[in-house]
Structure formats: structure tokens, C-alpha cells
Amino acid sequence: MNGEKNEKDVQRLVVKFGGSSLSDGAKISRAINSVIKKAKEGTQIVVVVSAMGKTTDFLIETTMQACGDAPSDEMLDDILAMGERTSARIFSAGLKSHGWKSVYLDPDDPNWPIITDDRFNDARPILNVCEENIRKVIEPMLEDGVIVVVPGFIGKTPDGRITTIGRGGSDITAFILAGALRADQVILVTDVEGIMTADPKIIKAAQRLNEISMDTLVGLADSGTKFIHKKALRYKSPDIDVKVISNSAGSLDSEGTIIRGSFPDEIIIDSYRKPVFAVTIAGEKASESFDTLVSVLEEIRKASVPLLGMSINYNSLILYLPMNRTDELLEALHAIVLKDERALALAVRKNLAFIRVKGVGLEETPGVISRITDALNSAKINIYGIFTITSSVELFVDLKDKDRAIQLIRKALKDDSQAG
């Protein structure tokens, strides 16, 4: 293949069915019928399947109970892979029983495309090898009208040992396949109708979102929503949208939530283009004065100044703002202090730099904060504020130290990633 998309204007989809969508024969049958319905339109389809229902949990529990000593990670991967491999066999058999050409790929096959390193239980796909294999093995099948079924979550080392990709593994498989095949869309079929405005198990009035950006989705994942594991988001192509739908509809055309954009795999370090200042409003029980907080935010809104960060504790409120139209805003904030009996004084620190370190799952990386702070401390660079939010670390340093701070942070994080 020459790497160009098929000459015919044919839609190409990668459809991933989660374990809840395959938990019994009726659901598997509904999933198979939804694929057939779309295939009848001439759509080329790769199906990625998870293990049926709670099979993976059952295999883990059974293995641990059966083994006096805990099995090795390599041995456990070989066992856990059977869940997805069984799902793929059943799904492909169902397609064939309806008269469709179908092939299921298995890691024992010599043409298995998903090749990983040997970090068992949390293997990393070797992307360039995977993409070359996918185009060589799967693309000709699709153009021949074959529905290809691939067990998600599973990889194989270059020397033939079975691995598992870990959390979000089936989504990762789907995203890698879609990128290599230049698919038009990835469809994730789950037990909910899409990404919701809140957890429906907690908020009764939660509603489905029609669309969400990757940056916003990462923020939801940070807050505890594990709809798509953040590790999987690193593999999403910026050019391929993802649609999340419910398995209950039995149709790949059903409405759901569209995820657009992508999130960079690598760590990005940038800074706000303008100098920043920190305003501290101090006073006993300052955090309890909600009227003051509302008044402060209203003055910031009227000044049309973006709020870069905010910290509230028992006796202070700290605001980080760009240094434009400073005098008028500071006078307005001081007037609020004079009116509120719980606010005692206002302090200002000017000429700060706002630096952001951004990357998927960064806040979950052990020691990332200490690596940043240690690097700056060793150079005697003070940090005047630090936050972790939506897979980023945001900090404020003296403006004169900005460039040196960025270089030190980049070196500290680069050295660590190379060491790992």
C-alpha cells in the first residue's frame, strides 16, 4: 500500500465495543447486527472488542486464588489476554453466521499487528511498527470487504510474548488502528448514551453532551470521571473524531457525544506572554467572606482581565492577573478591602511570570512536582504560586527568572523521562 486512503469514497470506521456491551449473548448479537447494518452501506469496518462483561476481573481473581504465589506479570498477561481473544472469536463467528466475510486477528498469528515493549501489565505500543503492520495486514482485508475483528488491550513483544496494554488498553488499540488506517471516525460503544454533564449515578438531571473538546475531556478525567482513561487519549489522532454512543440503541448511527481535537503526548512547557502580578487580600476568615469574593470577581470581569489563577485559604485570597490596566483594578480591589470588615489589607507583588507545564496524566506522575521544585530551588529561584489542574502544573516565578526556569524545568523532566 502507498499510504494514501483508498481511492473509492468509502467510509472507514473503527468500532470498539466495551465489556458492558458484550456481557451476554443478546448484547453481542445486538452489537453484531449494528456492525452488519453499517457494513451493508459499503462501510469498511474494523471491530475492536473488550473482554465480555467482568471477565478480566474474574480471570484476575481466579488466577490469584489458584496460584499459591502470585504469578509473574508475564504469566498474568498471557492469562488475561484470553478474555479479549475469546470475545474476538465469538464476534467474528457471529458475523460469519450472518454470511459476512470476517477475520479475527490473534496474537498467536504471525501477522498480529500490535507490537509492544516488554513492560508486562502496562506495555507500550511501538507505534511505527504497529502502523506499518496495520497498513500491511488489515488495509487489504478492508478493501476486500472483510470485517476485521481485533481483540483490544493485547500486544505482543518483538520476540513473540503476549502483553497487555493496561488501563484504557482497548481504547488505545482502537485509536492506533484508526490513526494507521486513516479512519473517518472511531466509535466507542458503551453502556451510557455519551459523555454526560455530570455522573448520572450522582446527579439525576445529568444530560448528554453533543460535543466536547479534548482539553475539556481531560479536565473531566482529572476530576475523577474515568470515561476514557487519560493514557488512551495520548493515542487519539487530532484529525479523527471519536463518537461515544450507547449499546442500547443497536445502531452505529445513533446520536452520542463527539470528541474533537487531541492532547499532546509529549510534555509542553510554555509561558504567558505578559508579566503577571499577584494580589493578596488578607484578613481573618477571609475565605468565609463570599460577598467579598463575588465583588472581587466582578471587578476583574469589568476590567476584562483574565484570571490566571486563584488560591483561597482561611485568612487570605490570592489572585494572579496579567499586568494590564493595573492601577485602576488595584484601586477597585482596595476599595473592596476597605468596605469588608473581614478583609484587613491588600498586598501586591508585580513582575511575575506564569509558566505552564502540560501533558496527559502529568499530575499522576510520581514526583513531578518535586522534580520541578527541586530544579528551581537548586538555582535559588523562588516559586510564588503553584497549582496542579487538568493534567498541567502551573507556577509563578519572578519575571527575570522566567527563561532560566523554563530551561531548568525542561531539563529536569527530560532527564527523568530518559531515565525511565
Give the relative orientation of helices 368-378 and 402-419 as an angle to the nearest 10 degrees: 130
For 57, the 3-state DSSP assignment is helix
Highest mean pLDDT among 28-42, 247-261, 265-279, 312-326: 28-42
Model pTM score: 0.80
Residue 396's domain spans which residues?
268-419
Residue 89 shares a structural domain with residue 218: yes
Q: What pLDDT digit, counting tens, does each position of 243-285 carry?
A: 999 999 899 999 999 999 887 666 788 899 899 999 999 887 7
313: CATH: 3.30.2130.10
Residue 241 shares a structural domain with residue 389: no
250: CATH: 3.40.1160.10
Lowest mean pLDDT among 263-267, 280-284, 340-344, 380-384: 263-267
Question: Residue 317 to residues 208, 296, 348: CA-CA distances in angstroms?
Answer: 35, 10, 12
- The pLDDT value given to residue 168: 82
Q: Could you give the CA distance from residue 148 to residue 124 in angstroms, rounded to a whole number?
A: 23
Q: Could you give the CA distance from residue 311 to residue 378 in angstroms, rounded to a whole number?
A: 26
Q: 185-190 and 12-17: which strand pairing? A: parallel
Residue 61 shares a structural domain with residue 102: yes
Domain termination site, one of 260, 290, 313: 260
Residue 372 shares a structural domain with residue 226: no
Full 3-state SS string of 228-285 = CCHHHHCCCCCCCEEEEEEHHHCCCCCCCEEEECCCCCCCEEEECCCCEEEEEEECCC
Residue 2 lies in a domain: no
Residue 8 has pLDDT above 80, yes or no: no
Residue 144 shares a structural domain with residue 46: yes
Domain termination site, one of 260, 291, 307: 260
- The pLDDT value given to residue 412: 87
Domain termination site, one of 205, 237, 260: 260
Residue 279 shares a structural domain with residue 405: yes
Q: What pLDDT digit, counting tens, does each position of 395-410 carry?
A: 999 999 999 999 999 8
Number of structural domains (the chain) is: 2
